[in-house]
Amino acid sequence: MALQLPIFMDNHSTTPVDPRVLDEMLPYFSTKFGNAASRSHKFGWEAEAAVDSARTRVARLIGAKDGKEIVLTSGATESDNLALKGIAEYRKDQGNHLITTVTEHKAILDTCKRLEKSGYEVTYLGVGSDGRVDPDDVRRAIRPQTILVSVMLANNEIGTVQPLEEIGKITREREVLFHTDAVQGIGKVEFDVEKMNVDLASLSAHKMYGPKGIGALYVRRSRPRVRLVAEMDGGGHERGMRSGTLAVPLIAGFGKACELLTQEGRAESARLLALRERLRARIASQLDDVYVNGSLEHRLPGNLNLSFHFVEGEGLMMAIKDVAVSSGSACTSSSLEPSYVLRALGVGDELAHSSIRFGLGRFNTEEEVDYVADLVADKVSRLRELSPLYEMHREGIDLKSVQWVAH
């Protein structure tokens, strides 16, 4: 098959809906359009059955015992907000302290900032140069007032997989609730709420070949039974934790996407890892001064985050414009600050500006990987010829010794 441009290699940002997922969804837009809360007729029953089946599929993927533990939301941002604010408010008489990490998604960090403004205290744990949090740091940070620990399963920029099983042992032993934003790792790396003692987990369908606009919060129902205060008041849907008419077509698609990952996730991860290593090796064979950001060992199979020294990330993205990737460069954000995740690893600002994130997914091929590797190598070489830093480096000037005039 001929190579089609543009190539999508940004599967951490979103993923296309799998055709099998779309097939599952379509009837619920037209013939099976009932409201899952209508208890008095067939249309409602049909919709409710679809939702229940989807819940079971979601639960199975994450090792949850019961579909009732799946609270459907609009996506992971809502799930993160509901988990943190909902637990903080419900447990405010027990304590006011939360623990998280500096490399979390903004949906966690900004929610924590808001909680701090309303009187809660938050400890932000640092990570090592490999991007991982030390479980002993979690243990040391727990106080009598600690009500919740939130650590992501896998990072969205560098793909680093966190040691949830070790952290879960600690939180269970200390009787502190444990939440994880599991969006990036679900179906790609091992995740089991029972084995890892996870009490709450945020999921998103569109990161796993399902539709946008639907996600879930897993809320443990037994040992311990987790309760929280709802953000959305109304008809009392989702066991009172999230009111609002259920988006049945999206939920059906979400369920199907989970089922596919339960069946195929392991094989898919092996394939993605092989593609990732092919991409890495092919770039490394053509270029010097390329660095991998984050742990290679504890990493999502489809993630490759590289810094191309002496070349600026946004400039490089412009040169490979037929390939969709993303960069930790400041220039891609409106804040002009480089990636806080890369900074947390101790990657210097200069290399953070030079970073590109490749996110491989279900529909990428070997041909695409080879094309992208060769294109990147060619364009990096060209941009280095344009780079005063590369010239200085070749003249033997230590760039750190130069007195730069920041502006």
Partner 1 sequence: MSYSDKVIEHYENPRNVGTLDKADPSVGTGLVGAPACGDVMRLQIKVNDQGVIEDAKFKTFGCGSAIASSSLATEWIKGKTVDEAAAIKNSAIVEELNLPPVKIHCSVLAEDAIKSAIADYRRKQSDRRSSLDAARVGE
Q: Give CA–CA dist 51/254, Å, rounded.
A: 10
Q: Which of 310, 361, 376, 379 binds partner 1 (CB under 8 A)?
A: 310
| Tokens (6 digits) for 216 | 């879930």
Using DSSP, state whether 209 is helix, strand or coil.
Answer: coil
CB atoms within 10 A of CB 31: 10
CB of 126 to partner 1, least distance (A): 20
**Distance, C-alpha 307 to centroid of its chain:** 20
CB of 101 to partner 1, least distance (A): 24
x-marked contacts with partner 1 along 257-296 as a string, rule CB under 8 A: ----------------------------------------
Is the C-alpha dihedral spanning 235, 238, 244, 250 positive or negative? negative
- The reply to whether 331 belongs to the active site is yes
312 counts as binding partner 1 under rule CB under 8 A: yes
| Tokens (6 digits) for 282 | 């092919």
CB of 338 to partner 1, least distance (A): 7
x-marked contacts with partner 1 along 176-205 as a string, rule CB under 8 A: ------------------------------
Radius of gyration of the chain (CA): 22
Catalytic residue among 37, 319, 324, 331: 331
407 counts as binding partner 1 under rule CB under 8 A: yes
* Count of alpha carbons within 13 angstroms of residue 104, beta-carbon side: 27
| Tokens (6 digits) for 203 | 């999921």
CB of 118 to partner 1, least distance (A): 32
Q: Give CA–CA dist 68/59, Å, rounded.
A: 9
x-marked contacts with partner 1 along 61-100 as a string, rule CB under 8 A: ----------------------------------------
Q: Give CA–CA dist 160/298, Å, rounded.
A: 6
DSSP secondary structure letter of residue 50: H
311 counts as binding partner 1 under rule CB under 8 A: yes
Part in contact with partner 1 (CB under 8 A); list of ranges 14-22, 232-240, 262-270, 307-315: 307-315
332 counts as binding partner 1 under rule CB under 8 A: yes
CB of 3 to partner 1, least distance (A): 21
Residues 340-399 that bind partner 1 (CB under 8 A): 348-350, 353, 385-391, 399
Using DSSP, state whether 252 is helix, strand or coil.
Answer: helix
322 counts as binding partner 1 under rule CB under 8 A: no
- How many chain residues are in contact with partner 1, going by CB under 8 A? 30
Q: DSSP of 291-329, one letter per residue?
A: EE-S-SSSB-TTEEEEEETTS-HHHHHHHTTTEE-EE--
Applying CB under 8 A, the residues found at the interface with partner 1 are: 310-312, 314-315, 318-319, 329-332, 334, 336, 338, 348-350, 353, 385-391, 399, 404-407
Catalytic machinery residues: 331
